[in-house]
Amino acid sequence: MKLAAKEDHIVGCDVHGPCLLEPTNPDLTWYGIHEVTMLYALMGTECESVIQVRTQGTDVVIGKWKGGQLGVMRGIRDGKQDWGITLFGEKVLLRSDSRPFSYRPLVVEIIKFFQTRLAPVKAAETLEMFAFMDAADLSLQRGGAEVRLSEVTR
């Protein structure tokens, strides 16, 4: 994994955004999927385990990647619900600006997909993101215990 800034390597990443819950959907798959997608876009695949902690207004999920990096997802229900990223590199620390969320980049990729039939994200990465969310849900059920993704992908 490389940062755009001078061959720097990612050592960790924090993402945050709105994380509303819907009783008919499993845990993070309703709205938390957006933060999970942001995390995977930056960290890549090979997350090995996760823990999840929830309060009434917040979910925090910590993923441990194969190289030892930690990816943290904060899902916000109480307080200001803004999107953001902090990327930790070996040499630099980058923070996203607080800007209104735009669906334009997503719509552009959707249009490309319908035109080319080529998915912008590999199937293996999508499956791992769902394993991440399943493992996080299981962690929550176990009181915040660490759950390996391999446990939910057997």
Question: Which DSSP string do the residues of 91-149 spell out, in sequence order?
Answer: S-EEE--------HHHHHHHHHHHHH---SS-HHHHHHHHHHHHHHHHHHHTTS--EEH
Q: Is residue 128 part of a domain?
A: yes
Q: Is residue 4 part of a domain?
A: no
Q: Which amino acid is at 14?
A: D
Predicted confidence band of residue 7 (pLDDT cuts 50, 70, 90): low
Q: Is residue 34 part of a domain?
A: yes
Predicted confidence band of residue 4 (pLDDT cuts 50, 70, 90): low
> Hunting for tokens 């849900």 — which residue is that?
137
CATH of the domain at 134: 3.30.360.10
Q: Is residue 17 part of a domain?
A: yes
Q: Is residue 154 part of a domain?
A: no
Q: Is residue 150 part of a domain?
A: no
Q: Is residue 44 part of a domain?
A: yes
Percent over 70 (pLDDT), the chain? 93
- Domain of residue 34 covers 10-143
pTM: predicted TM-score of the whole model, two decimal places: 0.88
